[in-house]
Structure 1
Amino acid sequence: MSLTDTELSAPEPSRAIVFWRRYRRNRAALLGLGLFIVVLAMALLAGVVTPGDPLARAGAPLTPPFQSWETPLGTDQLGRDIFAGILYGARISLLVGVAATLVAIAIGVVIGALAGYFGGWVDDLLMRITEAFQTIPNFVLLLTLVAIMGSKIEWITVAIGIVSWTAPARMVRAEFMSLRDREFVDAARNLGVSNGALIFREILPNALPPIIVYASVIMALSILLESALAFLSLGDPNYASWGNMIGQGRAVLRTDPYCAVIPGIVIVLTVLSFSLVGEGLNDAANPRQKQ
């Protein structure tokens, strides 16, 4: 068999391989992926690297960084290990980010799918509700929901998801409006497929790719919102949180700024990682748009 025949008979690369090749062309996206892997490793290995309670006293209060191997990043005003707080705080941030994103996307998909598929008065009603939510600043609405539901981490996560669903809803609505009259939908409708099956089995799988890409943005915003609540002492005090660390570090900001600066830097890098990963996913999913 000649070389030309071999090349012609070689199997085409899978979609996953093609997607990864497009993704890795963006060096910033690779940097974001690397940062995300570091944050994920911090969350997974927190109990191995720093076993015990991260809120327990680990040394003398306000020990500067790099003074002791036991507390490499120093201690706060209560003598708690900042390094342990950073590692365990990664768990809270990823937990809140993922769970709040799932809540936001679930609400947005349902509302956007119903509005985009049925149109008419259903679309008008659901879009008016969406616009009503958008008229209230996210953080103001979040403060209201936390004041009503409480400051447990579970309720905070749900509240963040509730204030973040409007953008996914509009994206899903736009996708459904462009897909509901396609040939494959008409063919399924002529076969007697129900509206529910058309929405969730035929149209939704084709409308999800841009929503999956946008999920990285929601995760970044969720981490920022949780940190902002904790900074205002509205977070759950029973968990180590980067926002809690910054809020408590305000009291010694002038004398020992590292108590607030270190978790602040970690938050910035984590949010940056999600932003860069989202940009890379968008470029890989829409190569023509980048051109």
Structure 2
Amino acid sequence: MLTLFLDFARRFARNRAALAGLGLVFVVIGVAIAAPWWFPRPPLRIVGRAEIWPFVNSRFPLGTDSLGRDIAAMIAYGARTTLLIGLFASLTATSIGITIGATAAYLGGWVDEMLMRVTELFQTIPNLIFVLTIVAILGQKIEYVTIAVGIVSWTPIARLTRAEFLALRDREFVQACRSMGMGSLRIMFGEILPNALPPVIVLSSLVIAGAVLYESAVSFLGLGDPNVPSWGRLIGDGRTLIRTSWYICAVPGAAIMLTVLALNLVGDGLNDALNPKLRDR
């Protein structure tokens, strides 16, 4: 097991851009963890004069917004919201996608046909509109936003899982498991799934980046949780002042851009490390 991990780490380390992305992800995680120590006051509390520009007042290194709230505090606490929604939305999408894709490929026949038609139906619906509809129906709590993003993000994972299962379900080790009398669930999730996971893991890491963008868009449009600091909501609050105090939008916009870029770079590194066709590149 240790040898496999060291081999994976060596291949991942070949991609310097992926290492830079991983370092940036760790920075965002560190900021999110340290937020309560750096900013003990509630992040949505008014703490100073409105529209203080960055680097003008040492108390507010990133300035204040139109209400006098500390932008640095909202960025730090917003990192927690962003990472939690991205992680749990990816887990939700991965769980749904693996279940549907594995079931469709392993059982085949009318089950495969039905589940793939359902998958195609979900793909015809514009994702952002679907997310907004779900949030509008369920409510604006952070849990519902996470569920909504997970529900619209599972279809690529389902199709990839199905393709991997179709390639593996008739292999010798699967036939040996059937001859030994193993149940279908044990074969699917105990034998085939571990061999199909590498590309699924890569795609799941990219779903996190997509979830960050969806959450930012929902918050920007005012449908996010109003009691939770969010980068998208900060951009939405500052859009009316973009000509006079553009930094209110620029700071959280840069945070979103760098986080999504870092997650995509990590996904690219995972693809290099886990894709057998690229291992010797």
Instruction: Answer whether TM exceeds 0.5 for this pair.
Output: yes
Q: 199, 213, 227: which is aligned to 2:216?
A: 227
Paired with 1:117 and 1:211, the residues of 2 have a C-alpha distance of: 17
| Match of residue 8 from structure 1 | none
Paired with 2:186 and 2:61, the residues of 1 have a C-alpha distance of: 56
TM-score (norm 1): 0.94
Other structure's SS at 1:14 match? helix
| Match of residue 142 from structure 2 | 153
Q: 162, 166, 188: which is aligned to 1:199?
A: 188
The one-letter amino acid paired with 1:197 is: R
Are 1:35 and 2:24 an aligned pair? yes
Give the 5 Å matches for 1:25-104. 25-104=14-93
Give the 5 Å matches for 1:1-291. 14-286=3-275, 288-289=277-278, 291=281
Paired with 1:111 and 1:188, the residues of 2 have a C-alpha distance of: 22
Paired with 1:209 and 1:288, the residues of 2 have a C-alpha distance of: 12
Contact 2:130–2:152 under 8 Å retained in 1: yes
After superposition, give the CA deviation of every residue in 1:225-273 in whole Å (9 maximum; x if it has no partner).
0000111111111000000100001121111000010000000000000
Please identify the structure whose Cα radius of gyration is greater.
Answer: 1
Paired with 2:12 and 2:172, the residues of 1 have a C-alpha distance of: 31
The alpha-carbon deviation at position 13 of structure 1 amounts to: 7.2
Paired with 2:90 and 2:58, the residues of 1 have a C-alpha distance of: 37
The one-letter amino acid paired with 2:125 is: I
Identity of aligned residues (%): 55
Q: CA RMSD in A?
A: 1.2
- Structure 2: gaps spanning 5 or more residues: none
- Structure 1: gaps spanning 5 or more residues: 1-11
The one-letter amino acid paired with 2:76 is: L
TM-score (norm 2): 0.97
The one-letter amino acid paired with 1:120 is: G
The alpha-carbon deviation at position 180 of structure 1 amounts to: 0.7
Contact 1:58–1:71 under 8 Å retained in 2: no
After superposition, give the CA deviation of every residue in 1:121-169 in whole Å (9 maximum; x if it has no partner).
1100000000000011111111111111111110010000000000000
Contact 2:122–2:155 under 8 Å retained in 1: yes
